[in-house]
Each structure stands twice: as C-alpha cells, then as structure tokens.
Amino acid sequence: MNARPPGLAPVIAILVVGYGAVPLLLGANQYIMSLIVAALVIGCVALSWALLGNLGGMVSFGHSAFFGVGAYVSAIVTLKAGLPVAAGMVLGGAGAVLASLAMLPVLRLRGPYFALAILAYAHIFRIVATEWTSVTGGSGGIGNIPLLPALPPNLSGIGMGGKTGAYLVILTIVLLFALAYRAIRASHYGLALRAMRDSEDATRVVGVNSTLLKGLMLMVSAFMAGVAGAFNAHYLNFLEPDYAFNGVWVTLPIVAAIFGGYRTITGPVIGALVVYLLDQIVFKALIPTGHQLVLGGLLVAMILFSPTGLLPLLPSLRKSASRPGRNDHA
C-alpha cells in the first residue's frame, strides 16, 4: 500500500510548462532561451550540490572540479575518439565520478576541512587542465566541440534545433536527475543518509556502512555535475580551463540552491532560474563589473535570516512540495 506521490498536480504542471508552454511562448526569443538554458545548467549543478549536502551531509566548495572534468572528458572523447555526443556526456559524468574517487580519502574529514579540501582539488584540476596541453589544449582551450545533435522538428513546425533543442535536452536531464534524487531520498538508503547527517555513529552501531553511503553520494553528485559540464561544453562548442573550472560554477549553484531552498528537490532548480535571470537581467545592468557582489550579499543575507533558503519562507506551497514521499511497508 504505497501512498500516492504527493503533489501530482505540480509534477504535471512542470511537465506542461516545461515541455509545452516555454518552447511555444519563448522559443522565438533566442536571448531568453539562452538565459534559461544557462540557468538550467546551473540548476543541475545546484541540484547535485544540494544532494551532496542533504543526503551526504557534506558542503562542497569545489563542484567546479566535477563540472570542468565532465566538460573536458566529454569534449575530448567526442572530438578525438569520435563518439556520439550522448555517449560523451555520459562519459563526462563518469569522468567526474573518477575524479570524485580521488576525493574519497577526504570524506572522513569534518565539515570545513572537507569543503576546503574539495576546493583544493578544484584548483588542482584547473591547473592540470591548463598545463596538460597535449590532451586538453592548454589554456587556449578546445574548439569545435561537436554540437548537440539537432532534434527533428515537431509536428507544429517549430524548429527544435538551436536554443530550443538544447533547452529540451537540459530540461530532460534536470528532470531525470531530480527523479533520481527523489528515488534515493525515498529509499532505505535515503533514510539512513538522513540519519547519518546528525550522528554517523548512531547509524554505524546499527549496521550502516556510513562511509560507503557517503562515498556513493559523492559519486552521484559528481556524476550529475559532470553531465552538466559536458552538456555545457557541447552547447557552447568551446572550452577553456578558466571557464570550465571557474569559481562561478561554485558560487552560483550555492546561491541558487540556498535561495530556492536546499532541503527540497525543486528548490535548487527554481532558485537557479530566479537567481541567474535576476543576475543577468537586473544586476548586470546595474553593476556591469562585479555584479556578483549582489550574489554574495544574497548569500550573506540568506544565511543570517533564513539558512534553509528564501523560497521556503513562502508558506504552504513550498511545504507540501517538499515533503519526501514516504515508503510505507505495511
């Protein structure tokens, strides 16, 4: 007797809006679409960051490492080995997972140490990407990365190529990842992970291999961020170390996730849309250089006044959407 997943209506709404309304209404405006695509990429990283924080209990300041590794691996295998883009993106995610394996020894460190150790890794990967010229093209980067395959035009004749096609791809990726996140959280592993956040010993004493679970969450998080990076590489067709491993892939997802409510699944994505669009449309216009200042200010304000995020302050609407589906084995 499984309870019906709560919030079926919001799910349908998301599908209708995402796959229907947005391409139909905004598809023609390339500028807006490009903003939305970028926002969704950030949302994907934000989702992976929140997953690591919520389920893994680890705050990371180095997700740019996974993003960049995913981007480069995908670019290289598609360019040099001729693999199709879809395979490239999956391999990009796998590459990020491998990168995370290198970070496993860091798992046993406490919060701040883990966060900064990951940051150190991000720096290392950036430097490696810059210096390993033979493979990565060095600081000049890689160009001519294979484009995302153009999707066939749909029945009403709306061109699916270009921004709209990319939008649909990233939207699907984000939704798939959100579903996966939800599935993990609703499972027994999810229960154990949530319990581990407070006291690992309390879980280990009843047989939970907490180290393994944390490691798995790191790998899942890395995979998601890696795929986002890979997508981005094929979307832009160009890559360079300072871009792929840029601190913005650390800052924006964190601000987005906290803004939207990092304890929820939809929060980080919605937060990314709001924050990124605000940043690009409003803040950038006001303060062309250094507009990220506002983001920093947002972060500070949020931590002080509402550490679980701003959107969760909106009553009932948020609350019902955030309750995880419970598995009742009756």
Partner 1 sequence: MTDLILQALYSGLLQGGSYALIALGLALVFGTMRVINLAHGELVLLAAYIAYTVESGLGLNPAWAIPIAVVVVSLTSAGVYGIVSRIRKDREINSLILTFGIGVIMTNLILLIWKADVRSTSSSWLQEAFVVGPLYSMRGEAVFFIVSLLLMAGLWWWLSRSWYGRALRAVSSNREAAKLMGIPPARTELVSFIVAGMLAGFAGVALYSYGVIQPAYGGALTVKAFIITVLAGVGSIPGVLLGAVLLGVAEALTVTLASSALQELAGMMLFLLVLFVMPNGLLGASRRRG
Partner 2 sequence: MLELNNLSVRFGGLTAVNNVTLNVGAGDVVGLVGPNGAGKTTLFNAISGLVRTTGGSIRFDRHDVLRTPMYRRARLGIGRTFQVPQPMHELTVRENLVVAQRFGAEKIDTQRIDEILEFTSLAEKAARDASTELSLTELKALEVAKALATSPKLLLLDEVLAGLETTGKRRFMEMLREMHTRFGVGIVMIEHDIEIISALCSRVVVLNFGQLIADGAPDAVFRDPEVMRSYTGAAAAGAGNA
Nearer to partner 2 by Cβ, of 80 and 326: the residue is: 326
251-254 contacts, C-beta under 8 A, 24 or more apart: 251/292, 251/295, 251/296, 251/299, 252/42, 252/45, 252/46, 252/276, 252/279, 252/295, 253/42, 253/45, 253/46, 253/48, 253/49, 253/63, 254/46, 254/49, 254/61, 254/299
Among 12-20, 101-109, 193-201, 267-275, the segment contacting partner 2 (CB under 8 A): 193-201
Does residue 157 bind partner 2 (CB under 8 A)? no
User: 197 is in the binding site of which of partner 2, partner 1, none (Cβ under 5 to 8 A by kind)?
Assistant: partner 2
Chosen residue from 84, 143, 179, 198 binding partner 2 by CB under 8 A: 198
User: 156 is in the binding site of which of partner 1, partner 2, none (Cβ under 5 to 8 A by kind)?
Assistant: none
- DSSP code of residue 239: B
User: 244 is in the binding site of which of partner 2, partner 1, none (Cβ under 5 to 8 A by kind)?
Assistant: none
What pairs with residue 239 in β-bridges?
A: 142
Nearer to partner 1 by Cβ, of 67 and 231: the residue is: 67
List the structure tokens of 137.
């093209």
Does residue 194 bind partner 2 (CB under 8 A)? yes
How many CA atoms within 13 Å lie on the side-chain side of 312? Answer: 22
User: 207 is in the binding site of which of partner 1, partner 2, none (Cβ under 5 to 8 A by kind)?
Assistant: partner 2
Nearer to partner 1 by Cβ, of 180 and 274: the residue is: 274
Does residue 329 bind partner 2 (CB under 8 A)? yes
Distance in Å, CB of 192 to partner 1, minimum = 15
Distance in Å, CB of 204 to partner 1, minimum = 5
Using an 8 Å Cβ cutoff, are 96 and 223 in contact? yes
CA dihedral 199, 204, 206, 212 (to 10 degrees): 120
Q: What angle do CA 73, 78, 84 make, to 5 degrees?
A: 120
User: 194 is in the binding site of which of partner 1, partner 2, none (Cβ under 5 to 8 A by kind)?
Assistant: partner 2
Distance in Å, CB of 32 to partner 2, minimum = 40
Distance in Å, CB of 207 to partner 2, minimum = 3
User: 199 is in the binding site of which of partner 2, partner 1, none (Cβ under 5 to 8 A by kind)?
Assistant: partner 2
Nearer to partner 2 by Cβ, of 98 and 202: the residue is: 202
- DSSP code of residue 10: H
CA dihedral 90, 26, 8, 44 (to 10 degrees): 30
Nearer to partner 2 by Cβ, of 305 and 328: the residue is: 328
92: helix, coil or strand? helix
CA 106, CA 117: separation in Å to the nearest integer?
A: 7
Burial bucket for residue 124 (CB in 10 Å: 0-12, 13-18, 19+): middle
- Please enumerate in sequence order all residues whose Cβ is within 8 A of that of 53, keeping only pairs 6 or more positions apart, or say none: 59, 60, 257, 262
Nearer to partner 2 by Cβ, of 205 and 285: the residue is: 205
Query: Cα-atom radius of gyration of the chain, to the nearest Å?
Result: 20
Chosen residue from 130, 164, 203, 232 binding partner 2 by CB under 8 A: 203
Does residue 206 bind partner 2 (CB under 8 A)? yes
Does residue 182 bind partner 2 (CB under 8 A)? no
Residues found near partner 2 in the complex (CB under 8 A): 188, 191-192, 194-195, 197-199, 201-210, 329-330
